[in-house]
Amino acid sequence: MTLLELRHVTKEYPIGPRRLWFQQCPTLQAVRQVDLTVEKGESLGLVGESGSGKSTLAKLIMNLESITSGQILLSGQAVNGKQIKKRQLYKRMQLVLQDSSASLYPKMCVSEILEEPIRNYFPEENNREELCVELLKLVELDRFFLSRYPHQLSGGQKQRVCIAKALAVQPELIIFDESIASLDRPSQTSIIQMLKCIQKEKQIAYLFITHDLQSAQQLCGRISVMYQGELVETLTQLEWDFQQFQHPYSRLLFQTLNLD
Ligand SMILES: Nc1ncnc2c1ncn2[C@@H]1O[C@H](COP(=O)(O)OP(=O)(O)OP(=O)(O)O)[C@@H](O)[C@H]1O
């Protein structure tokens, strides 16, 4: 069952003043005619080189930027229309970014960080502390972390707290935008294993944005490749053979992976 659907999505940014008053501003197409679907409970990887439009796509899906043309539908409802209010949208979709330090308010301890979304989205919930402990358990941290502040956490632990914060609203989809890129390979693998377990338990869909094909392969059943704003191909796990890649950039990406 389709959860998220992008139909011919294009995003143009103005990149400078118009030369003459009757001319249009010059624009850059960061995303061009992208079609993409994420099924309920699946993990879709989105890989591509720097500047290929991956983060722009994440911002469009989260309605943090407006689309120039096309449609983004969540269970058939337009995310950028009036059908879904932003609050409802963020109840259903969460975004986890690379820079966990920017996402965690430094003056709040972990329990305050996790209680905030619970209070916002489940105001009737009285047992917030136990819920926080459960969230920490999901991300494999024990209850002693509740009293810690972000500066008292390692990069991997901060990322786990960001994931717990996203899980606190019980979303249907989490978008990870280079969320584990700054961690070393063992920490990345451990978080990926953890995400797989959470997905099995909670049936959450993931859109996993990365420039690292290897981590996308570990987590995702399908991988889409972006190149210069376009989605050039999507392969399923069964087709992860170098020969199957059609686009020269995907072939290069796969070759680089095999050289590592
Ligand atoms: N607000 C903006 N105004 C103008 N151009 C922008 C803006 N945001 C992004 N771009 C341009 O859009 C293109 C796509 O950027 P985007 O950040 O989506 O790429 P990316 O694939 O996420 O890259 P990275 O992996 O380095 O984060 C880039 O050429 C970028 O310079």
Number of domains in the chain: 1
**Nearest residue CA, atom 31 of ligand 1?**
51
Average pLDDT of the residues in 100-111: 90
Q: ipTM higher than 0.90?
A: yes
Ligand 1 centroid, distance to 55 Cα (angstroms): 7
Write the residue with the smallest CA distance to atom 7 of ligand 1: 13
Which range of residues forms the domain containing residue 136? 2-259
Distance 65 CA to ligand 1 centre (A): 12
Domain of 179, CATH number, reads 3.40.50.300
* Mean pLDDT score, 57-80: 94
Q: How far is the CA of 50 from the centre of ligand 1 (A)?
A: 8
Query: Following CA atoms 207, 209, 214, 217 in sequence, which dihedral angle do they give, to the nearest 10 degrees?
Result: 20
Instruction: Report the nearest-CA residue for atom 11 of ligand 1.
Output: 30
118-132, 182-196, 229-243: least confident range: 229-243
Taking only the tens place, the pLDDT of each residue in 211-248 is 888 899 899 999 999 999 999 999 887 666 666 778 88
Checking DSSP bridges between strand 173-177 and strand 93-96, what pairing results, if any? Answer: parallel
Residue type, 136: L
Tens digit of each residue's pLDDT (9 = 90 or more) over 28-37: 999 999 999 9
- Residues with a CB atom less than 6 Å from ligand 1: 13, 15, 28, 30, 48, 50-56, 211
| pLDDT tens column, 13-22 | 988 777 777 7
Closest ligand 1 atom number to CA of residue 15 = 4
